[in-house]
Structure 1
Amino acid sequence: MNPALLLRALTIGLLANVLAVVMSMSPGHAQTALDKVSFGTNWVAEAEHGGFFQAVADGTYRAYGLDVTIVPGGPNNNNRMLLISGKLDFFMAANTLMSLDAVVNDVPVISVAAIFQKDPQVLLTHPESKITKLEELKPLTLFVSKEGVSSYFQWLKSEYGFSEEKVRPYTFNSQPFIADKQSAMQGYVTSEPFAIEQSAKFKPGIILLADYGFNTYSTLIETRGDLIDKKPDLVQRFVDASIVGWYHYLYGDNAPANAMIKKLNPEMTDELLAYSIARMKEYGIVDSGDSLRDGIGAMTDERMASFFDKMVRAHVVRSDIDYRKAYTLRFINKGVGLDLRPKK
């Protein structure tokens, strides 16, 4: 080869290599390491956690610069304690009462988003009773769990005049309810009605407490105050990506998330997953109320104050606590993902 041409080729090659290195170091082309994040749920994998699994499975968290590990909960796992001790970054709290309890006990966790606008708690009835309103449940035997008696049932007493004389222990066995046509049983709208249909071959009546004023938020994202102070950008990205994951799960192709759920929870079936998703959409569990305007995850000061006042009247929480320490609106109500909701 002509020496001059050889020198020119080598020079061009060197410049190309230098340019490639510079391009890889520029912000638009940087191969930035993902931030590792751990998120603990409060139960085994199920559709009620679907948006979080969706954000892992379809790459949404990665698109937000996050490498997220979901740690499923269960009867023998206390993921909230792992959050408090610093071994998890985020936790899925069941409802606002947990957030208020954290304030009472000076636990340094804060709710940063409320994925469920409505708590899925229901009371189920027999079709023969023809009950269509909450007040009509008063004469019935009520199967309520120990946790239910100390929380939502106290609200039923203070707001609607229910009596504990009608309460019988609910041990997560539906047979006593099935056997007694003059009874009602607690459950979640996303699961227990399906189980009754499968085992007893009848479709129970459903009274959703949220539709009668039990306005706790549910499935909240909690984190520690120190993480908010030190890494607010990470908290924001996790909240935003989780919200997008929930839009994809409800309104897009949720097969990737459901595959993850079934792998982690072999007892889960396609039929129950489909039922749970359909009920979440039908009853507006995730996407209703304020979320229609502000996006999934929405919370408001007014609603938090309203629920706190109800729990004080029901003697579930003390009146002297500062409930505003339980949550922050800093990371939500920004309309994230609203463009992903199907147009009507």
Structure 2
Amino acid sequence: MTFDRLSRRNLLLGAAGLTAAGALSACGRTEATVDEAGRVRLRLAAGGPVTAAHGGFYQAIATGTYERRGLNVEILTGAAGADIPALLAASAVELAVGVDSFAPMRLIADRAPVKAVAAFLQKDPVVLMARPDQPLEALSALRDRTILMSPADQAGFWNWLQTRFELTADQARPGTPEDNLKAFRDDPKAVLVGRLTAGDPTLIAREAGFTPRVLIPADDGYPSYSSLVLAPNAFARDNAKALRDFIAASVEGWRDYVHGDGSKADTLIRRANPDLNQRLLNAVRESLRTEAVVDGGDAALYGLGTMTAERWQAFAEQTEDAYPSAPDWREAFTVQYLPGRG
């Protein structure tokens, strides 16, 4: 079980003659291959740079949990903004990690037959950070303030934030991490978007010289899931046992990563992303525990990885203007492959 970086060739395959969504729709039977030991091979696209948001998957690799269920799982890493539909359409990967609930909703809007089959972060780990002397008790305090973010967040999280709190388009300031950090230092009223799972509050404290105020939008109504497992419908249909085994092993991995010894997973994470050090990952895992990011909410009632129709409907209603055509949120997910379901 290994991890590797997605090649440019794999990224381009999905565009050969068909759109990614069209290629996925045209898929026939898609039975997974097996290795020389008879284990089912599954490639999982990380969907961007590796962080603690992938911790449970790496834990299941490091501890042999996938192997014990007859799986050979490989995590393929890549840059932010990886073209998940193209990767799935090209059969460069069997599964992918979605950073938020926008991922499957946009796939459905594009008529790509892909569903979220599990959500291992019950709270989206997106955070808002401000200087310690600036108010940030609630999202309503954001009006008339510059909000620094990545281009990916402008295309995703910002859609919800702007609509929900009647913010203006000119408040959004997308930029590189370096530009955003400089602007955050220079503008005392600026608010910076980051991720708990990337250790951003700790990194900002180190780089900016002060401990920022931190607000978690998930605690103020943001209904997105994160670390979603995305599977093409045809693959799920033709490999139901392997998919159920993968999710069950991932449940074990996430439980052990958050509440057990995650050091073996962290070693693999740091190998895939040398910008993360062990002290930072320790702080992130503590945040995952104290904020109940993995096992809080519906997961406390129905088990890790769970999703509910109520959450998906709420997300769809609150982000309806983010898509060129309204997707049917019911087509964005299924719980039939979760442990104890189906």
Q: The TM-score by the shorter chain falls in which range?
A: 0.7 to 0.9
Name the SS for the 1:129 alignment partner: coil
Q: Is the 8 A contact 1:80 1:91 kept in 2?
A: no
* Shift in alpha-carbon separation, 1:195–1:134, aligned structure 2, 3 A: same
Name the SS for the 2:170 alignment partner: helix
The range that moved more, 78-87 or 100-109, is 78-87
Structure-2 separation of matches of 1:266 and 1:144: 23
Asked if residue 44 in structure 1 is aligned to residue 49 in structure 2, the reply is yes
Letter of the 1:40 partner, please give it: A
Q: Is the 8 A contact 1:84 1:109 kept in 2?
A: no
Name the SS for the 2:43 alignment partner: strand
Aligned to 1:334: 340
Q: Is the 8 A contact 1:89 1:223 kept in 2?
A: yes
Percent identical residues = 28
Instruction: Work out which of the residue numbers 189, 196, 201 in structure 2 matches 1:189.
Output: 196
Aligned to 2:267: 259
In structure 2, the gaps of 5 or more residues are: 1-35
User: What is the alpha-carbon root mean square deviation over aligned residues?
Assistant: 2.0
Q: Is the 8 A contact 2:266 2:281 kept in 1?
A: yes
Deviations 1:93-139 (A, max 9, x none): 11111101111111121110011111111111000114322111213
Name the SS for the 1:95 alignment partner: coil
Shift of the alpha carbon at 1:80?
Answer: 4.7
Structure-2 separation of matches of 1:201 and 1:192: 13
> 1:63-74 maps to which residues of 2 (within 5 A)?
63-74=68-79
In structure 1, the gaps of 5 or more residues are: 1-30, 336-344
Deviations 1:271-317 (A, max 9, x none): 111121112222222221000111110101111111111111xx113
Q: Is the 8 A contact 1:299 1:332 kept in 2?
A: no
Q: Is the 8 A contact 1:92 1:222 kept in 2?
A: yes
Asked if residue 169 in structure 1 is aligned to residue 177 in structure 2, the reply is no
Structure-1 separation of matches of 2:156 and 2:39: 40
Shift of the alpha carbon at 1:258?
Answer: 1.1
Instruction: Work out which of the residue numbers 149, 163, 169 in structure 1 matches 2:154.
Output: 149
> 1:160-309 maps to which residues of 2 (within 5 A)?
160-173=165-178, 174-190=181-197, 191-309=199-317
Structure-1 separation of matches of 2:80 and 2:146: 27
Shift of the alpha carbon at 1:171?
Answer: 2.4
Name the SS for the 2:133 alignment partner: helix
Q: Is the 8 A contact 2:109 2:326 kept in 1?
A: no
Aligned to 1:28: none
TM-score (norm 1): 0.82
Letter of the 1:133 partner, please give it: A
Q: Is the 8 A contact 2:40 2:70 kept in 1?
A: yes
Deviations 1:209-249 (A, max 9, x none): 11111101111001111111111111100111111100011
Asked if residue 323 in structure 1 is aligned to residue 311 in structure 2, the reply is no
Q: Is the 8 A contact 1:41 1:79 kept in 2?
A: no
Structure-1 separation of matches of 2:229 and 2:338: 11
Structure-2 separation of matches of 1:39 and 1:316: 27
Shift of the alpha carbon at 1:195?
Answer: 1.3
TM-score (norm 2): 0.83
Letter of the 1:181 partner, please give it: P
Q: Is the 8 A contact 1:40 1:80 kept in 2?
A: no
The range that moved more, 168-177 or 87-96, is 168-177
